[in-house]
Chains A and B, each alone.
Chain A
Amino acid sequence: MFLRTDDDKTMRCRDIRRQLHAYLSGQLTPAQRLRIGRHLAQCERCYAAFQAELATVRHLEAYLPALGRPSAAQLARIWQNVKAQTRQTSARRADSRPAGALLTLTLALVCAAFIFRGSLSIAVAAPLPPSPAIARATATLLFTETPESPGVASIRPTASLTAAQARLPSAAPAPSARKP
Chain B
Amino acid sequence: MARRVAHPARSARDPSEEARFQDLIARCQQGDQAAYEALYNAVASDIYRLAYSLLLHPQDSEDVVQEVMVYVFRSLRQFDPKRGSFRTWLYTITVSRCRNARRRKWLPTVALSSLLSTKSEPRAPSSQSPEAAVAWRDACESIERALSKLSPRLREAVVLRYGQGLTYREMAEVLDCPQKTAESRVRLAHEALRNSLSEVELGLLEEFGSA
Do the beta carbons of A68 and B33 come within 8 Å of each other? no
Q: Mask for B110-138, Cβ within 8 A of A = 1, else 0?
A: 00000000001011000000000000000
Nearest Cβ in chain B — how far from A32, in angstroms?
Answer: 9
Do the beta carbons of B31 and A157 come within 8 Å of each other? yes
Q: Which of A55, A67, A140, A165 has the most CB of B within 10 A?
A: A67
Do the beta carbons of A60 and B158 come within 8 Å of each other? yes
Contacts A79-B40, A178-B176: A64 and B202 contacting too (C-beta < 8 A)?
no
A86 interface residue per 8 A CB criterion: yes
Nearest Cβ in chain A — how far from B107, in angstroms?
Answer: 15
Do the beta carbons of A165 and B75 come within 8 Å of each other? yes
Partner among B40, B122, B161, B168 whose Cβ is within 8 Å of the Cβ of A27: B168
Do the beta carbons of A172 and B71 come within 8 Å of each other? yes
A179 to B9, CA, bound (A): 25
A24 interface residue per 8 A CB criterion: yes
The residues of A that contact B206 with a CB separation of less than 8 Å are 55, 59
Number of residue pairs across A and B with beta carbons under 8 Å? 194
B200 interface residue per 8 A CB criterion: no
Partner among A78, A79, A171 whose Cβ is within 8 Å of the Cβ of B97: A171
A128 interface residue per 8 A CB criterion: no
Do the beta carbons of A67 and B62 come within 8 Å of each other? no
Nearest Cβ in chain B — how far from A85, in angstroms?
Answer: 5
Do the beta carbons of B40 and A22 come within 8 Å of each other? no
The residues of A that contact B61 with a CB separation of less than 8 Å are 68, 70
Do the beta carbons of A70 and B45 come within 8 Å of each other? yes
A78 to B45, CA, bound (A): 11
User: For chain B residues 47-66, which have a beta carbon within 8 Å of chain A?
Assistant: 48-49, 51-53, 58, 61-62, 65-66
The residues of A that contact B29 with a CB separation of less than 8 Å are 157
Contacts A69-B45, A139-B74: A176 and B208 contacting too (C-beta < 8 A)?
no
Partner among A67, A69, A141 whose Cβ is within 8 Å of the Cβ of B144: A67
Do the beta carbons of A29 and B2 come within 8 Å of each other? yes
Contacts A168-B74, A175-B79: A69 and B123 contacting too (C-beta < 8 A)?
yes
Nearest Cβ in chain B — how far from A27, in angstroms?
Answer: 6
Contacts A65-B165, A172-B93, A178-B173: A156 and B33 contacting too (C-beta < 8 A)?
yes
The residues of A that contact B183 with a CB separation of less than 8 Å are 21-22, 27
Q: Which residue of A lies closest to B49 (CB)?
A: A68
Nearest Cβ in chain B — how far from A153, in angstroms?
Answer: 8
Do the beta carbons of A26 and B5 come within 8 Å of each other? yes
Contacts A61-B7, A174-B75: A75 and B37 contacting too (C-beta < 8 A)?
no
Do the beta carbons of B140 and A63 come within 8 Å of each other? yes
The residues of B that contact A77 with a CB separation of less than 8 Å are 62
A69 to B78, CA, bound (A): 29
A70 to B209, CA, bound (A): 22
The residues of A that contact B164 with a CB separation of less than 8 Å are 65
Per CB-CB distance, the 3 closest pairs between chain A and chain B, nearest first, are A68-B52, A64-B163, A60-B162
Beyond the given A64-B53, A67-B53, A161-B78, please list 13 additional residue pairs across the A-B interface where CB-CB is below 8 A: A28-B2, A59-B197, A68-B61, A69-B49, A75-B45, A75-B48, A78-B69, A79-B37, A155-B31, A172-B71, A172-B93, A175-B78, A175-B89
